[in-house]
Structure 1
């Protein structure tokens, strides 16, 4: 079921995109997560699509950012635990590298990149608020591969275990809607402003309709293929969620 426009929060893709399109909010959030400053943002793209070649699985980044020093930051909001975060991050990293290294350039020309997944659940299972991963030498853990990549997984469930106050306030806001500082109050004010914008409301309605159409078409195509294989109607209903009459018409 599509969520009502008035009920949207930062956890919802539409509002997350709207907030992150603001360079100030986007920059500040990345800095809070990384506990570090980043350069001036020169490029922000939401729902950025990359397809490396015709048969490859495409990638749609929630928010892809480039700073003036050439570094890339991919920021993803994850509210559904499909238990694939590590492999998904690996694929997203590869997509960025392949897409932004021009033919003929040296591998050393690869931009540094940060893959950030903000999860409303614990993707790793250690009850840690921030998981940061870099490639290191197993034989000498003080030796880094220095390949210019970093992956960060945020576990909003563990906000009470966060020592960094800014991060704790943000994660608590993400989970509960409670605004404890200027940054989260600013985000909430922006969300309320978006909700008063009729153009944004219509944009959300059209996007929701489009996405529902895609899902329904995918369900019908799956049902059609299962029907061709002469699988039991009850199984097709269970897998696709379509009614028996809808399946019979295919």
Structure 2
């Protein structure tokens, strides 16, 4: 009997990321090492997997699911996102996430724009970088005519990619990169906690089942959204389009599993268990992946 190989769910897996980050002490520490100039006394509120929709355009506006949403003692809002797949839209994705955040959290009714809360959008990325990408990049709004003039809009966007060399960075950020890359970290109690929690999650059959179920549900939602789009205006070729969508989804999940530290065998087994596509199509994907790798 062939022994079933279990994939490892690392820090970059959505559910694991949320379960590790729900610890306010660790979340506060992570924010402090990413934005060291901020003095965060305490985190007032933290939530994970938050869905933000525009009720007035419920059937039109794209829904947003925020990985981790935090407010601190000064009312500043932090959205921390894990990104494992490069869809070449990170700038526009940042823009849309910020717009949904402003819609719900940064300005209370009856207040003026002067009361708009500072917002920080942090993308933790774990995918192959482009040639000019840096490990740590912070973005603000500047004048095209005078780069020394910054528009005081209260927005900071930060992108960290653990697949770029962290050479020259602070030890804490190097440790964060290792955690994202499923490498052992020996630095302090905060990273000890994160690694211990990840290990607990992977050793808990019930937790693993929840992660598998979550992955499947997310996939079903994507497929349902794709089906609805076809039904609205693309009747021709629906069947072929949906089949291709399943193949594309399988490729993305396989890549995510590999980024999360699984071996190719473990990642293959994980995708096979989801039963998205026939085994022969999955084998073709694996063969293509092997040929590109070699």
**TM surpasses 0.5:** yes
Give the match's secondary structure for 2:85: coil
**Aligned pair 1:44/2:46, yes or no?**
yes
Find 2:193's aligned residue among 166, 177, 186: 186
2:226–2:242 Cα contact (<8 Å) kept: no
Q: Is the 8 A contact 1:122 1:156 kept in 2?
A: no
- Greater CA deviation, 155-164 or 208-217? 208-217
Partner SS state of residue 150, structure 2: coil
Could you tell me which runs of 5 or more consecutive residues in structure 1 were left unpaired when the two chains were aligned: 244-250
Deviation at 1:19, TM superposition (A): 0.4
Q: Secondary structure at the match of 2:181?
A: helix
- Alignment of structure 1 residues 148-187 onto 2, 5 Å: 148-182=154-188, 183-187=190-194
CA distance in 2 between counterparts of 1:27 and 1:128 reads: 24
User: Is the alpha carbon distance of 1:106 and 1:162 closer, same or farther for their aligned partners in structure 2, counting shifts above 3 Å?
Assistant: same
Deviation, structure 1 residue 33: 1.2
1:64 aligns to what SS in structure 2?
strand
Q: How far apart in 1 are the matches of 2:82 and 2:149?
A: 31
For 2:214 and 2:84, locate their aligned partners in 1 and report how far apart those are by CA, in whole Å. 19
Q: Give the stretch that moved more between structures: 204-213 or 72-81.
A: 204-213
Correspondence list, 1:113-132, <5 A: 113-121=119-127, 125-132=131-138
1:17 positional shift: 0.4
Structure 2 residue aligned with 1:200: 207
Q: Deviation string for 1:65-113 (max 9, x for gaps)?
A: 0001000000000010001111110111111112122333201111001
Consecutive unaligned residues of structure 2, counting only runs of 5 or more, are 248-275, 278-294
Contact 1:74 1:116 in 2 (8 A): yes
Once residues 92 and 47 of structure 2 are traced to their aligned partners in structure 1, the CA distance between those partners, rounded to angstroms, is: 23
Give the TM-score taking structure 1 as reference length: 0.83
| CA 189–206 in structure 1, closer or farther in 2 if over 3 Å, else same | same
Q: What is the aligned partner in structure 1 of residue 288 from structure 2?
A: none
**Cα contact 1:75–1:118 (8 A) shared by 2:** yes
The answer on whether the counterparts of 2:124 and 2:161 sit within 8 Å (CA) in structure 1 is yes
Q: How does 1:68-79 map to 2 (within 5 A)?
A: 68-79=73-84
Match of 1:90 among 87, 95, 107: 95
Asked if the contact 1:219/1:240 (under 8 Å) is kept, the reply is no
8 A contact 1:113–1:148 mirrored in 2: yes
2:101 counterpart of 1:99: no
Shift of 1:123: 5.5
TM-score normalised by length of structure 2:
0.72
Give, in whole Å, the separation in 2 of the partners of 1:60 and 1:233.
28
Q: Which has the higher contact order (CA 8 A, sep 6+)?
A: 2
Q: How many residues align?
A: 240
CA-CA distance at 1:203 after TM superposition: 2.9
Contact 1:5 1:201 in 2 (8 A): no
The CA deviation string for residues 229-248 of structure 1, in whole angstroms up to 9 with x for no partner, is: 3x3965664355488xxxxx
